[in-house]
Structure 1
Amino acid sequence: MHNHGLGSWMAKRRLKSPDKTALIYGDGTTMTYRQLADAADRVSALLWGRGIRKGDRVAYLGENSPEFLQVLFGAVQLGAVFVPVNTRLAPPEIAHVLGDSGSRVLIHDAQLAERIAPALAQHEVPHVIETGDGTAERPGLARIVRTTTAGHADAEVALEDPAAIVYTSGTTGRAKGAILTHENLTWVSLNCIVDYDVVSTDVALMISPLFHVASLGMGALPVILKGATIVLERGFEPGRALELIERHGVTMLSGVPTTYQMMADHPNWATADLSSLKKLTCGGSAVPTRILNAYEERGMSFSQGYGMTETSPGATALAPEMTRAKQGSVGLPHFFTDVRIADEQGAMVPRGTVGEIEISGPNVFAGYHGLPDATAAAFTADGWFRSGDLGYLDPDGYLYIADRLKDMIISGGENIYPAEVENVISDLEGISGVAVIGVPDERWGEVPWAIVTVRDGASVTTEQVREFLDGRLARYKIPRNVVVVDELPRTASGKVRKADLRARFAR
Structure 2
Amino acid sequence: MYKVVKENASNSPDKIAIIDTDGSTYTYFDIQKKVEQLASYLVMKYGMKKGSHIGILLFNSVEFVVVFLAAQKLGATIIPFPTKYKEKEIISLIENSDCDLIIADEEYSHWISKYEEIYNRTFLCKTKNDRNHYGFTFTEAYPLIETYETGNLEDIAIIMFTSGTTSNCKGAVIRNFNIQHAINAYVRIFELTDKDSSILATPMYNITGLVGILSVVLKCKGTLYLQKLFKAENVLEQMQKNNITFLHSSPTVLTMLMSEKRRFPHLPELRTIACGSSNMAIEKIKELKKWLPQMSFRTIYGLTETTSPGTISPTDVSTSPYIGSSGHPIPGLFIKIINDNGKEAAVGEKGEVWIKGTNVIEEYYNQNSTLITADKWLRTGDIGYINSTGYLYIVDRIKDLINRGGEKIYTFDVENAIYQIEGIKEVAVVGVKDNLYGEIPVAILCVEEGFMIDEIMLKTNLKEKLASYEIPVKYFFVKEIDKTPNGKIDKKKIRKNLESTRERG
State TM-score, norm by structure 1: 0.76
Specify the alignment match of 1:257 in structure 2: 251
Letter in 1 for 2:310: A
Letter in 2 for 1:185: I
Letter in 2 for 1:221: S
**1:359 is aligned to 2:328:** no
How far apart are the structure 1 equivalents of 2:100 and 2:165? 27
Instruction: Identify if the C-alpha distance between structure 1 residues 134 and 294 changes in structure 2 by more than 3 Å, giving closer, same or farther.
Output: closer
How far apart are the structure 2 equivalents of 1:172 and 1:184? 26
Letter in 1 for 2:379: R
**1:277 is aligned to 2:265:** no
How far apart are the structure 2 equivalents of 1:71 and 1:443? 42
Paired residue secondary structure (1:368):
coil
Specify the alignment match of 2:31 in structure 1: 36
**1:202 is aligned to 2:196:** yes
Equivalent residue runs for 1:299-318 within 5 Å = 299=293, 300-318=295-313
**CA apart distance, 1:150:** 2.1
Equivalent residue runs for 1:42-81 within 5 Å = 42-49=37-44, 50-81=46-77
Instruction: Identify if the C-alpha distance between structure 1 residues 91 and 200 changes in structure 2 by more than 3 Å, giving closer, same or farther.
Output: same
How far apart are the structure 2 equivalents of 1:206 and 1:177? 23
**CA apart distance, 1:104:** 1.3
Q: Is the CA contact 2:282–2:324 (under 8 Å) kept in the aligned structure 1? A: no
Per-residue CA deviations over 1:143-195 (Å, capped at 9, x if unaligned) read 11344442563343331220010001359942111110001111111111122
Specify the alignment match of 2:230 in structure 1: 236
**CA apart distance, 1:365:** 1.0
Specify the alignment match of 1:180 in structure 2: 174
Q: Is the CA contact 1:104–1:126 (under 8 Å) kept in the aligned structure 2? A: no
How far apart are the structure 2 equivalents of 1:358 and 1:30? 43
Specify the alignment match of 2:4 in structure 1: 9
Instruction: Identify if the C-alpha distance between structure 1 residues 116 and 319 changes in structure 2 by more than 3 Å, giving closer, same or farther.
Output: farther
Of 397, 403, 406, the match for 1:404: 397
How far apart are the structure 2 equivalents of 1:17 and 1:166? 31
How far apart are the structure 2 equivalents of 1:247 and 1:337? 38
Letter in 2 for 1:107: I
Specify the alignment match of 2:419 in structure 1: none
Letter in 1 for 2:317: M
Letter in 1 for 2:186: C
Specify the alignment match of 1:94 in structure 2: 90
How far apart are the structure 1 equivalents of 2:312 and 2:382? 16
Equivalent residue runs for 1:120-139 within 5 Å = 120=114, 124-132=118-126
Per-residue CA deviations over 1:205-224 (Å, capped at 9, x if unaligned) read 11111101112111110110
Paired residue secondary structure (2:96):
helix
How far apart are the structure 2 equivalents of 1:318 and 1:35? 36
How far apart are the structure 1 equivalents of 2:184 and 2:338? 27
How far apart are the structure 2 equivalents of 1:130 and 1:205? 26
**1:167 is aligned to 2:161:** yes
Instruction: Identify if the C-alpha distance between structure 1 residues 307 and 60 changes in structure 2 by more than 3 Å, giving closer, same or farther.
Output: same
Instruction: Identify if the C-alpha distance between structure 1 residues 44 and 160 changes in structure 2 by more than 3 Å, giving closer, same or farther.
Output: same
How far apart are the structure 1 equivalents of 2:145 and 2:17? 20
Per-residue CA deviations over 1:274-310 (Å, capped at 9, x if unaligned) read 0111111111222234432333223134211111111
Instruction: Identify if the C-alpha distance between structure 1 residues 441 and 36 changes in structure 2 by more than 3 Å, giving closer, same or farther.
Output: farther
Specify the alignment match of 1:454 in structure 2: none
Instruction: Identify if the C-alpha distance between structure 1 residues 134 and 172 changes in structure 2 by more than 3 Å, giving closer, same or farther.
Output: closer
**CA apart distance, 1:122:** 11
Specify the alignment match of 2:422 in structure 1: none
**CA apart distance, 1:47:** 0.9
Specify the alignment match of 1:394 in structure 2: 387
Letter in 1 for 2:298: S
**CA apart distance, 1:356:** 1.6
How far apart are the structure 2 equivalents of 1:486 and 1:381? 43
Q: Is the CA contact 1:191–1:336 (under 8 Å) kept in the aligned structure 2? A: no
Q: Is the CA contact 1:194–1:335 (under 8 Å) kept in the aligned structure 2? A: no
**CA apart distance, 1:87:** 0.6
Structure 2: give runs of 5+ residues left out of the alignment.
402-410, 413-427, 431-438, 449-484
Paired residue secondary structure (1:204):
strand
Q: Is the CA contact 1:22–1:229 (under 8 Å) kept in the aligned structure 2? A: yes
Paired residue secondary structure (1:314):
coil
Per-residue CA deviations over 1:325-359 (Å, capped at 9, x if unaligned) read 11221111112322111235643221111122111
Structure 1: give runs of 5+ residues left out of the alignment.
1-5, 411-415, 419-434, 445-470, 489-507
How far apart are the structure 1 equivalents of 2:111 and 2:172? 23
Q: Among the aligned pairs, what percent are the same residue?
A: 26
Specify the alignment match of 1:431 in structure 2: none
Instruction: Identify if the C-alpha distance between structure 1 residues 241 and 248 changes in structure 2 by more than 3 Å, giving closer, same or farther.
Output: same
- Per mean C-alpha deviation after superposition, the further-off stretch among 378-387 and 168-177 is 168-177
**1:158 is aligned to 2:174:** no
Between 1 and 2, higher relative CO (CA 8 Å, sep ≥ 6) is seen in: 1
Q: Is the CA contact 1:302–1:319 (under 8 Å) kept in the aligned structure 2? A: no
Of 280, 293, 306, the match for 2:286: 293
**CA apart distance, 1:28:** 2.5
